[in-house]
Amino acid sequence: MKYLAFEKSVGCVIYRKSEGETLFLLVQYRSWQWDFPKGHVEEGENEEQTLRREVLEETGIADLEILPNFRESVHYFYTAKGNEKKERISQGRGIYIFKNAVYYAAQTNAQAVAIDFENKAYAWLTHEEVLSRLINDGSKKVINEVVKKITKH
């Protein structure tokens, strides 16, 4: 079994306007952590294809207008635990993961969200509420950069 894995994911900060306010979508993973929808790049996909596929799979949202000239990368290391660790071992994948997560931002008119089996819940939140639910600094940096960009846009 290999122990170390280098992986790339693509995610999206999805936002919508509601009664003069900007709301952002967070999903709650099986690990109970809140974050933006994201997932692994599949063979033959470019980043936009991955973004659209992952958002559709995790939220049911297809209506996305990708914010031009916005792309942020976050690099981090983690050790798989619990069910993820068991799954990775059974698949012969490393349990020590160096991750490059690339984020885009996209506006939607959709309000309804249909979360998939990978997630427990979702919430449309204000910028301040998002910051209070996120636990990792990389995601906090990304949401702050999105807010700067859409405020200028």
pLDDT tens per residue, range 33-59: 899 999 999 999 999 999 999 999 999
The whole-number pLDDT of residue 84 equals 85
The whole-number pLDDT of residue 139 equals 95
Residue 49 lies inside a defined structural domain of this protein? yes
Helix-, strand-, coil-residue percentages of the chain, each rounded to 5: 30, 40, 35
Contact between 39 and 57 (Cβ < 8 Å) = yes
Q: What is the mean pLDDT of the chain?
A: 93
The whole-number pLDDT of residue 23 equals 98
Report in angstroms the alpha-carbon separations of 61 from 25, 27, 54, 83, 85. Answer: 11, 13, 10, 27, 29
Range of the domain at 45: 4-110
pLDDT tens per residue, range 66-86: 999 999 999 988 898 888 899
The whole-number pLDDT of residue 153 equals 61
The whole-number pLDDT of residue 31 equals 79
Contact between 12 and 51 (Cβ < 8 Å) = yes
Residue 119 lies inside a defined structural domain of this protein? no
Residue 142 lies inside a defined structural domain of this protein? no
> Tokens 């449309």 belong to which residue?
124
The model carries a pTM of: 0.89
The whole-number pLDDT of residue 119 equals 82
The whole-number pLDDT of residue 1 equals 55
The domain tally of the chain equals 1
Residue 40 lies inside a defined structural domain of this protein? yes
Residue 62 lies inside a defined structural domain of this protein? yes
The whole-number pLDDT of residue 152 equals 81
Contact between 143 and 13 (Cβ < 8 Å) = yes
Reply yes or no on whether the pLDDT at 141 is more than 90.
yes
Please state, in angstroms and rounded to a whole number, the distance separating the CA atoms of residues 56 and 8.
Answer: 18
Indicate which CATH number applies to the domain containing 24: 3.90.79.10
Neighbour count for residue 15 (Cβ, 10 Å): 22
Q: Helices marked H in the chain — which ranges?
A: 47-59, 82-90, 127-133, 137-152
- How open is the CA angle 101-103-105, to the nearest 5 degrees? 165
pLDDT tens per residue, range 74-133: 998 889 888 889 998 999 999 999 999 999 999 999 999 999 888 899 999 999 999 999
